[in-house]
Amino acid sequence: MPICNRGHLQVTPAGIEGNPSQLRIEGARIACEVRTDPRDVLALQASGRAIPPGVSGILLVDTGAGMTAIDESILADLGIPSITDTRVFTPMGSAIQSVYSCSLEFPGSNLPPARSLFVLGADLGSQGIVGLLGRDVLEQAVLVYNGTAGGWTLAF
């Protein structure tokens, strides 16, 4: 079972310890690369067009998100077209937002890529992250958030 352990450490008089404060500030974050859906890659190749390079960034693990979301500007840069839409509820109200298909890879970890994943397009650029890893992916995993130790574990 692929397991990803991440944590924040700090040097204290007692030695090196976990840093719960930093985990509280940053949340559970993991490096990822957003890529074109393999089926779109095949269609691009069939039409003789180049495959866009992936876009790297940070995903925030979000158990509050019903669906994984990716910054819409990144999806636009990759030329990924929307395929449907859905109504999204937030504490500020609801809105219709587009849904796309893409792949997520997790460089620097042994987590398996999420290929052909349907994601919500969202305006996340100002948040310093490329997206939110939601419960549609987490439903296939075990997530342990160890606040007292300043770390978290994700296992598929």
Partner 1 sequence: MVSESTSLSGEFDMTSSSSNQQEAFERNRRAFQDHLERLLAAHEGKYALVHAEVIVDTFDSMRNAYEHGRQHFGLDPIYIGHVVGKPDVVHMPTLVHGLIHAHL
Question: Which tokens in the block code for residue 91?
Answer: 């504490």
> CB–CB of 103/38 below 8 Å?
yes
* Closer CB to partner 1, 129 or 137, in the complex: 129
3-state SS track over 42-83:
HHHHHCCCCCCCCEEEEEEECCCCCCCEEEHHHHHHCCCCCC
Give the span between the Cα atoms of 12 and 136, in whole angstroms. Answer: 38
Among 57, 121, 150, 151, binds partner 1 (CB under 8 A): 57
Among 1, 14, 16, 46, binds partner 1 (CB under 8 A): 46
45 is an interface residue for partner 1 by CB under 8 A: no
Determine the interface stretch with partner 1 among 7-15, 83-91, 138-146, 148-156 (rule: CB under 8 A): 83-91
84 is an interface residue for partner 1 by CB under 8 A: yes
The DSSP annotation for 102-138 comes to EEEE-TTS-PPPEEEEEEEEE--GGGT-SEEE-HHHH
Site residues, partner 1 (CB under 8 A): 24-25, 27, 31, 33, 36, 39-40, 42-44, 46-47, 49-58, 60, 62, 64-67, 69, 76, 79-92, 94, 101, 107-108, 116, 118, 120, 122, 124, 126-127, 129, 132, 134
